[in-house]
Chain A
Amino acid sequence: MAKRIETLGLSCHYGSHKAVEDVTMTIEPKTVTALIGPSGCGKSTFLRSLNRLHEVVPGASVTGEVLLDGHDIYGADVDPVALRRVVGMVFQRPNPFPTMSIFDNVAAGLRLAGAKGKGMADVVERSLRGAHLWDEVKDRLKKPATALSGGQQQRLCIARAIAVEPEVLLMDEPCSSLDPISTLAIEDLMAELKDRYTIVIVTHNMQQASRVSEMTGFFTLAGAGQPGVLVEYAETSKVFSRPDDKRTEDYITGRVG
Chain B
Amino acid sequence: MTAVTARAAPAASGIEKIRGRRAIVNRFATVTMWLAFLAAVIPLGAVIWYTVGRGIARFSYRFLTHSMAGVGPLDAGGGIYHAILGTVEQVLLASAISVPLGLLVAIYLNEYGGKRLTTGVRLLIDVMTGIPSIVAGLFVLAFWVLGLHKGFSGLAAAIALAILMLPVVTRSSEEMLALVPNTLREAAYALGISKWRVIVSVVLPAASTGITTGVMLAVARVTGETAPLLMTAFGSNFIHANPFAGPQESLPLYVFAQAGNAFQVNVDRAWAAAMTLILIVVLFYVVARLLTRRDSFNRR
Our verdict on whether A and B bind, yes or no, reads yes
Interface residues of A (CB under 8 A from B): 51, 53, 56, 81-86, 88-89, 91, 93, 95-101, 108-109, 112-113, 142-144, 157, 160-161, 164
- Chain B: residues with Cβ within 8 Å of the partner, total of 26
B284-300 CB mask vs A (1 if < 8 Å, else 0) is: 00000000001011101
Distance to closest chain B CB from A163 (angstroms): 8
Interface residues of B (CB under 8 A from A): 181, 183-195, 197-198, 201-202, 205-206, 208, 294, 296-298, 300
A84 touching B184, Cβ below 8 Å: no
Alpha-carbon distance A51/B190, docked complex (angstroms): 8
Alpha-carbon distance A161/B192, docked complex (angstroms): 10
Residue of B nearest to A98 (CB): B206
Distance to closest chain A CB from B40 (angstroms): 32
Given A56-B186, A91-B183, are A99 and B191 neighbors across the interface (CB < 8 Å)? no
Residue of A nearest to B198 (CB): A112
- Give the A-B pair count, Cβ closer than 8 A: 83
Residue of B nearest to A140 (CB): B297
Distance to closest chain A CB from B178 (angstroms): 13
9 contacts between A and B (CB under 8 A): A56-B185, A81-B195, A84-B192, A88-B191, A91-B183, A91-B186, A91-B190, A97-B184, A109-B192
Alpha-carbon distance A100/B300, docked complex (angstroms): 12
B183 touching A95, Cβ below 8 Å: yes
| Max count, chain B CB within 10 A of own CB: residue among A81, A99, A164 | A99
Alpha-carbon distance A51/B189, docked complex (angstroms): 10
Alpha-carbon distance A63/B184, docked complex (angstroms): 27
Distance to closest chain B CB from A205 (angstroms): 21
Chain B residues contacting A113 (CB-CB under 8 Å) are 191-194, 197
Residue of A nearest to B300 (CB): A142
Chain B residues contacting A99 (CB-CB under 8 Å) are 202, 205-206, 208, 294, 296
Given A81-B192, A83-B192, A160-B191, are A112 and B206 neighbors across the interface (CB < 8 Å)? no
Alpha-carbon distance A89/B189, docked complex (angstroms): 9
Residue of A nearest to B202 (CB): A97
Distance to closest chain A CB from B231 (angstroms): 43
Alpha-carbon distance A78/B186, docked complex (angstroms): 19
Given A93-B183, A98-B206, are A112 and B190 neighbors across the interface (CB < 8 Å)? no
Given A112-B201, A144-B297, are A91 and B191 neighbors across the interface (CB < 8 Å)? no
Distance to closest chain B CB from A176 (angstroms): 14
Besides A81-B189, A108-B191, A108-B193, 16 new A-B residue pairs in contact (Cβ under 8 A), listed by A number: A53-B189, A56-B186, A81-B194, A84-B191, A95-B181, A98-B206, A99-B202, A112-B197, A112-B201, A113-B192, A113-B193, A142-B298, A144-B294, A144-B297, A161-B190, A164-B192
